[in-house]
Amino acid sequence: MRRIRNVGRGFGLVALTALAIGAGMASAEAQTQITMWSNWPDEPAKKDWVSARVQEFEAANPQCQVKLSFIPKADIYTQAKSAVRTGQAPDIFYMEPDQPEFLAGGFLEPLDDYIDVNAIEPWAKPAWTAKGKLHAVPVEAYTLELYYNKDQVKKVGVEVPASFQLTQAQFADLVKKGVAAGITPVSQGVGDRPFPGGQLLFESLLRKLGKDDYGKLLSGELSFKDPRVVEVMTWVKGLVDDGAYPKSFSTLKLGESHFYFYNTPGALTFPDPSWFTGRAFAPPEKGGMPAGFPLGIMQFPAMDNGACPNCKTLAVSGSFVMYSRGKNKDCAGKLLKSMASVENGTKWVSQVSLQSGLKSDPAKIVSPHKAYFEELNARNKDVDYFFGTPLLHYRAKCAETYVQVMNNAFPAGLISVADAADKMDAACLKK
């Protein structure tokens, strides 16, 4: 009898185990794993924002599991270029609008049927719209700003006007006074980036030409030999020759140029996209801005007879796209939908201290850098935005020439105005 009972128990145990294994297998089968590549491995605030969105999504959607990797941007581009061709690309990956080939090649899934497009800022949509469909969730956006050290600028004897915009002559005077005082006027370096060296020149060109003609310049319909362009280039060349940039300009990296501005040796101004905060608001021991640093934001200088002194560049950068040949579009779409919300836009602005292509609720923004935000908003009030930096518009040989000439050689003083204009026209001007 006892043996029969033992046998019965044994059967029961086996049955229970089988049931448990079966249930486990069924749940494993029901769970879908999607892969996601994100940039920002070295920017804690942005990384935390992405991780939090993924965790929230997984908690709300137990049938979807996300394999999230943080990979440097350049590596994502290189790997994605091979992977999309062979069907091996991740379901969701980081992308910026300056890589249009992915959209043109049909590798990005239209997202209109997956996400709430009303949660995206209207100005951010064109960057990712093709054939009337939106192809990315534009998380990160920025404006080009001219940061300055209030104390040092005052110390060299320059008073920033109430408009926070110097004239062409006043800015040239600031450069001269900075050099005379032994303080580098403009902290900037192009050691590891293809764009910073062109910021001062191209923002000045935007203000001189106005949005329409500046757009033509970037689309190759206006020559760099246009008298207005030559006038601005000649002015910038004068600043360069006066010693506006650091001597180590060609090799100074972006992170180093931050440190150069607000730490050692210090500089008067620092032209930078508003993602400046990603590094500047890191703890000082990790290379961030020292506590109490007298940071100010001024407008780029107004050009003499400029068509648009209140113009400014606005751009979309870090975005997330869905692979069009992915096998888990359902889960991937749900994840992007959960990310693209006003609430998450507000969280981005609060946590990262940077603009977003997602709509946000200003009333709910809670940030330890409130004063900074107020100043940034003040500098962006009544501004007429031009969408996209030069590298967002330039392609192939024209982009490479911009990198070599306008980003590097011209601001480094290695090339004359005429030669720079010749090279840009040869590469960019539509015949």
Partner 1 sequence: MTDIATVNAKDRGEARASSSTGLADPRRATRLVLSIFLGPGLLVYAGLTAYPAFRTIYDSFFHIEGLEATFVGFANYVELMGDETFWIAVRNTFVWSFIAPILDVATGLLLALALYAGVPFARFLRVAWFTPVLLSYVVVAILWMWIYNYDWGAVNVILRTVGLGDLASSWLGDPNLALGSLIVTHAWKWAGFNMVVCLAAIHSLPREVLEAAELDNCGWGAKLRFVIIPMLRPTLLSLYILSFIGKMKIFDLVWIMTQGGPLWATETVSTYVYKRAFNWNTFDLGYPSAIATVWFLVVCASVLILNRVLASKDRLEY
251 vs 40, 197, 260, 401, 409, CA distance in Å? Answer: 23, 11, 13, 18, 12
Q: Tokens 């764009």 sit at which residue?
A: 195
- Assess 400 for contact with partner 1 (CB under 8 A): yes
Helix H, strand E, coil C: the string for 336-402 is HHHHCCHHHHHHHHHHHCCCECECCCHHHCCCCCHHHHHHHHHHCCCCEEEECCHHHHCCHHHHHHH
Q: Virtual CA dihedral for 215, 218, 221, 222, nearest 10 degrees?
A: 90
Does position 399 interact with partner 1 (CB under 8 A)? The reply is: yes
Q: How far apart are the first and last CA of the chain?
A: 100
> Does residue number 408 form part of the binding site for partner 1 (CB under 8 A)?
yes
262 near partner 1 (CB under 8 A): no
Q: Which range in 2-10, 78-86, 221-229, 370-378 contacts partner 1 by CB under 8 A?
A: 78-86
Residue 130: closest CA among 155, 103, 112, 111: 103
Each residue 219-248 as x (binds partner 1 by CB under 8 A) or -, in order, gives: ---------------------------xxx
Nearer to partner 1, 98 or 231 (CB): 98
Binds partner 1 (CB under 8 A): choice among 22, 27, 62, 101: 101
Read out DSSP for 18-56? HHHHHHHHHHHHH-EEEEEEES-TT-HHHHHHHHHHHHH
Q: What's the min distance (Å) between Cβ of 274 and partner 1?
A: 25
Q: Check residue 403 for interaction with partner 1 (CB under 8 A).
A: yes
* Residue with Cβ nearer partner 1 (104 or 181): 104
Mark 347-386 with x for binding to partner 1 (rule: CB under 8 A) and - for no binding. ----------------------------------------
Distance CA(86)–CA(82), nearest Å, equals 7
Instruction: Provide the strand spans (E) within 79-123.
Output: 92-95
- Which among 195, 247, 225 is positioned nearest to 407, based on CA atoms? 195
Which CB, 57 or 107, lies closer to partner 1?
107
Figure out which of the listed residues 17, 397, 416, 418 binds partner 1, where binding follows CB under 8 A.
397
User: Which member of 105, 126, 283, 284 binds partner 1 (CB under 8 A)?
Assistant: 105
405: contact with partner 1 by CB under 8 A: yes
For 242, the enclosing helix (H) or strand (E) is helix 227-242
DSSP reduced 3-state for 307 = coil
Q: Tell me how far, at minimum, the Cβ of 413 lies from partner 1, in Å.
A: 10
287 is an interface residue for partner 1 by CB under 8 A: no
Residue 101 or residue 221: which is nearer to partner 1 going by CB?
A: 101
Closest CB to partner 1 among residues 371, 418:
418
51 by Cβ neighbours in 10 Å (0-12 / 13-18 / 19+) ranks as middle
**Residue that is written with structure tokens 């450069």 in the block:** 175
Is 99 near partner 1 (CB under 8 A)?
A: yes
Site membership for partner 1, residue 418 (CB under 8 A): no
Q: What residues line the site for partner 1 (CB under 8 A)?
A: 77-78, 81, 85, 98-101, 104-107, 246-251, 395-397, 399-400, 403-405, 408-409, 412, 414-415
